[in-house]
A = this chain, B = another copy of it.
């Protein structure tokens, strides 16, 4: 590997001069500058970023920790982060923690040793001791999608409450009163948040939540697939379900299809997180669209402000609004007749 020393030698100058010419600082006469540049080109010189990091104390590298990059939601978030930081010359180290504290810890240790300039993380839960340690060591952290209870770091999240509320209001407007939730792990921020939003929205709508209408899944496809059966076996089964994330929605829809349950006639479905393929389903899926890419981009911007020192105040929280994309999986706008054929504890006018 050719070093600046080789370049200097070939240009007939000292290392210091070569560095000035290449680094574009200090005095250099145009003539020597040219000579150095020519030599560098001739030798195909590429400065060693490791050595530079050593000296500058900055690596121009950011780390991103998500649970799984193969989940389209996180893939988009990562993409958004990258878009935001590429222009400023930062590269991204991608870490998939799989909601596994051990794996997350492993990655955080590596991240710390690599002296990354900053970190965007969608924390899996846990006490966050390692994150606190990272912060103490001076590495700025931005949380995305999820946040830890008492971690004094910036955060970019989506307004889960508003999203779930919009979905439930939509269902209610269409005449649904028996609405179930296929939720996520309570261990995770998004799982908890969406569950509480569901409970609050149901309360607001003065709708009862019967036993078995709230299920706790794993945010994975298999769990959506497995749990739908429980809804179907219920004596008083919900006429509509809200599924708390994209993967579980796939599983749930598959299970409903296998069971021959018609959507929305026998079961209305609204998914959290809109996907490319939502419109091509039959019926097209009504979904709570999360601005995943913007989420990432915002996180990237906040992080950059910290990294460059442009901002050094107290932790900030950015809340992005989701958007209910109404398609056809909850029924037509007019309230379906069947919704009123059964006696509910409260009539429509109550």
Interface residues of chain A, those whose CB is within 8 Å of chain B, are 1, 44, 46-51, 53-54, 59, 61, 64, 68-70, 72, 75-76, 78-79, 82, 89, 91-96, 107, 109-110, 112-115, 133, 136-138, 221, 247, 250, 253-254, 257, 275-277, 279-282, 293
Contact = CB atoms under 8 A, between A and B. Distances in A.
Kindly report how many copies of this chain are found in the complex they form together. Answer: 2
Given A275-B277, A280-B254, A114 B50 contact: yes
The 3 A-B pairs with the shortest beta carbon distances in the complex, nearest first, are A282-B282, A49-B113, A75-B75
Contacts of A75: 69-70, 72, 75
14 contacts: A47-B113, A48-B115, A49-B113, A50-B53, A61-B114, A68-B79, A69-B75, A72-B72, A72-B75, A91-B114, A92-B93, A221-B276, A250-B276, A250-B280
Given A47-B113, A68-B79, A91-B93, 12 more contacts: A49-B113, A50-B114, A50-B115, A61-B114, A69-B78, A69-B82, A70-B76, A78-B94, A91-B110, A93-B94, A221-B276, A254-B280
Contacts of A280: 250, 253-254, 257, 281
Nearest to A53: B50
A61 B257 CA distance: 44
A179 to B, nearest CB: 21
Contacts of A79: 68-70, 96
Nearest to A112: B46
Contacts of A254: 279-280
Contacts of A72: 70, 72, 75
